Amino acid sequence: MTRRTVHLAVYDTYADWETGHTTAHLTQNGYTVKTVGLNTDPVTTMGGVRIQPDLALADLDPADSALLILTGADLWDTGDELAPFAAAARTFLDAGVPIAAICGATAGLAREGLLDDRPHTSAVSFYLDATGYKGGEHYVDTDAVTDGNLITAGPTEPVAFAREVFARLGVYKGEKLDAWYRLFHDSDPSAFEILNS
């Protein structure tokens, strides 16, 4: 049986705009999105939206998930509060379950050592260099990168981030994946017909 639940990490200062395309289109294509917090206490996003996590991080099992999504947040750069999410990403990767990290979450993965030996991207290379990680030679200056089960993207690329998630999970393929990206990234109206054919 195919796992159809995607887990979205939520925490205070979570950058809510970075995953809107991803979660909306996953839900429209038969996935269930469940939110995961450090605990089940409500969190407040950067946009001021209060979210009640569906489950606590301690109860998250990669065997129950198709993907773990980690978003940016001010907290990634102000201390170690979110380090348990980076550790969870390691557990997911070790179990062969994909993770997708955007914006500040890439710095969390860098601190965890998950970007030391694989292609990745982020906001800019020197942002990750400041973490002291050893993966600078694997940094790719592009909108989003998929390396096996690891997807990374910078903060200005929520559409490219979604595209990589959809490709990895097989939500859209080939011409439809390209059409989805052209529609939402380039506002190409001709892509709408292809996407909905």
Q: What is the pLDDT of residues 64-73, one digit of tens each?
A: 999 999 999 9
pLDDT at 3 over 80: no
What's the rounded mean pLDDT across residues 52-59? 98
Query: What is the model's pLDDT at position 2?
Result: 54
Is residue 196 very low, low, confident or very high in pLDDT (cuts 50, 70, 90)?
confident
Q: What percent of the chain has pLDDT over 90?
A: 95
For residue 1, pLDDT over 50 is answered with no
List the catalytic residues: 103
Lowest mean pLDDT among 51-60, 141-150, 186-195: 186-195
Residue 197 has pLDDT above 90, yes or no: no
Q: In Å, what is the CA distance from 30 to each residue of 7, 65, 71, 196?
A: 14, 14, 22, 16
Whether residue 56 is predicted with pLDDT greater than 50 in this model: the reply is: yes
pTM given for the model: 0.96
